Amino acid sequence: MSYVLRKKNRTLIIQVTGELDLVTANNFRETVDATMQEMMAKNLIIDLARVNFIDSSGLGVILGRFRKISAQGGKLVLIGLTPNVQRILELSGILSFIPYCDDELKAWQLLEKKVI
């Protein structure tokens, strides 16, 4: 698993490549939490377009970030869901409360319009 991290305004954008399971979920959590704290980021955009596998450990780490960021008044948006990943996320019910859209441009619209 690898990441590309960027910060824009107070939002961290993380592009994830690889598989999000038990092992990589721990690494993902540590990377996101440490980077958000270091960059003093408030919001998080997770780009899952290059994630080719996700299981409940991967979902759990996304849910954990959502809870943590929401508790601090920030927003989390998921982008680039492949059909496989989207199916798992839908089955879990996570998409009923975590906003998602096609790409980063739309994610910025969601964050800037404050509709979420």
Q: How far is the CB of 62 from other proteins (least distance, A)?
A: 9
Q: How far is the CB of 22 from other proteins (least distance, A)?
A: 4
Are 92 and 115 contacting, i.e. CB atoms less than 8 angstroms apart?
no
**Which one, 98 or 111, has the nearer CB to other proteins?**
98
**Which one, 12 or 98, has the nearer CB to other proteins?**
98
List Cα–Cα distances, 25 to 9, 18, 34, 60, 112, in angstroms. Answer: 26, 11, 14, 8, 29
d(CA 90, CA 88): 5
Q: How far is the CB of 90 from other proteins (least distance, A)?
A: 11
Q: How far is the CB of 77 from other proteins (least distance, A)?
A: 19
**Which one, 64 or 99, has the nearer CB to other proteins?**
64
- 88 Cβ contact list (under 8 Å, min separation 6): 54, 55, 59
Q: Which residues bind other proteins (CB under 8 A)?
A: 19, 21-23, 26, 29, 53, 55-57, 59-61, 63-64, 67, 84, 88, 91-92, 94
**Which one, 49 or 63, has the nearer CB to other proteins?**
63
| Helix/strand/coil percentages in the chain, nearest 5 | 50, 30, 20
